Copies of this chain bind each other. A is one copy, B any other.
């Protein structure tokens, strides 16, 4: 493809301007010199209004998931909006039981945003996409005036293939099932908060942002598909909100052992300082699995054998409860209700 631009995009000191979203030559240049170069793959290279893709194997169903990313700040310990956008959507597909196949990315940029920072985000997004093995096959870029956006928003959509025998879902939890988590709770939420509030700790709290599809495949490799009742990634609203969603969908209750829920001491301490509960903080690389009781040991072993699940734990069970409450058994023998997140939200955590 011959380029017609008199000079290359200034990725060192240039800034996003309204032309980059107007659909003309400047848009074409931004796409060619930044996006297409970073995400380089044959589908994106087709250069049409969308991407033509091989369909899933016969017998497989499609899964589609979408996420808008508005995290603030855009860069944080352990990641940035680019890698987070890939992980968030890959994980939505993974917890449906699907093998993630393709991603799309829609960028809404604010006029004046430094192109160098945009390049860092796009490069990070491309690296996360390559590491996950899930290409960004099509995209779109829009620009809004200064003061009508906030640097960079990224909406990602993913397509996955769901094997016939898999059907995890919130409604499938049943009394007696075991609730597992793949690791410590609250790392992502606290990493974002720590940056926002300029909290200084002995060692940095890092986001757990990671792609979970490998961990999910490890679980399916170790268990009968039927034994995997529910998979979820506890993002906004944290573990507490996700467990309440599952309880509502299944019409059952849950009993969770507070002492069994892994939380980094650093996160625990920061939560005490800020008056927050780590069970309501967002995670971006943790899996909740509700599994059949007879498969719980195998599931825990499979999670622990995977690098992203080395701190996996069994945290409770599904119980009969007409009110579908999530009850938390405290270390001192007490009991409290783990309600939905309400009151003070943590905005723009993802």
Contact = CB atoms under 8 A, between A and B. Distances in A.
Interface of A: 1-2, 4, 18-19, 21-28, 46-56, 58, 60-70, 91-93, 95-96, 98, 102, 104-108, 137-145, 147-150, 153, 155, 157-162, 167, 169-170, 232-233, 235-237, 241, 245, 248-249, 282, 340-342, 345-349
B108 A153 contact: yes
27 contacts: A1-B249, A19-B342, A21-B345, A22-B341, A22-B347, A22-B349, A23-B236, A24-B342, A28-B340, A49-B65, A49-B91, A50-B64, A51-B64, A52-B61, A52-B162, A53-B61, A53-B63, A55-B55, A65-B138, A66-B106, A66-B140, A68-B106, A68-B155, A108-B108, A108-B153, A145-B347, A155-B157
Contact of A157 (B4, B157, B245): B157
A157 B104 contact: yes
A345 B63 contact: no
A263 to B, nearest CB: 19
Given A47-B249, A148-B149, A153-B108, A24 B241 contact: yes
Given A22-B236, A342-B25, A53 B58 contact: no
Contacts of A63: 50-53
Q: Would you call the interface of chain A mostly helix, strand, loop, or mixed?
A: mixed
Closest 9 CB pairs of A and B: A23-B236, A22-B345, A50-B65, A24-B341, A155-B155, A157-B157, A66-B104, A23-B237, A68-B106
A93 to B, nearest CB: 6
A2 B91 CA distance: 27
B62 A53 contact: yes
Given A50-B92, A144-B150, A148-B149, A62 B159 contact: yes
A255 to B, nearest CB: 20
Given A142-B348, A149-B149, A22 B237 contact: yes
Contact of A248 (B1, B46, B236, B341): B1
A25 B339 CA distance: 10
Contacts of A162: 52
A61 B67 CA distance: 24
A237 B64 CA distance: 30
Contacts of A69: 142
A195 to B, nearest CB: 17
A55 B56 CA distance: 7
A68 B341 contact: no
Given A70-B144, A232-B49, A248 B155 contact: no
Nearest to A154: B155
Nearest to A236: B23
A45 to B, nearest CB: 11
Given A49-B65, A65-B50, A340-B4, A148 B150 contact: yes
A108 B68 contact: yes
Contacts of A167: 52
A235 B140 CA distance: 13
B24 A340 contact: yes
A271 B345 CA distance: 48
Contacts of A56: 55
Given A61-B53, A340-B4, A347 B21 contact: yes
A88 to B, nearest CB: 9
A39 to B, nearest CB: 13
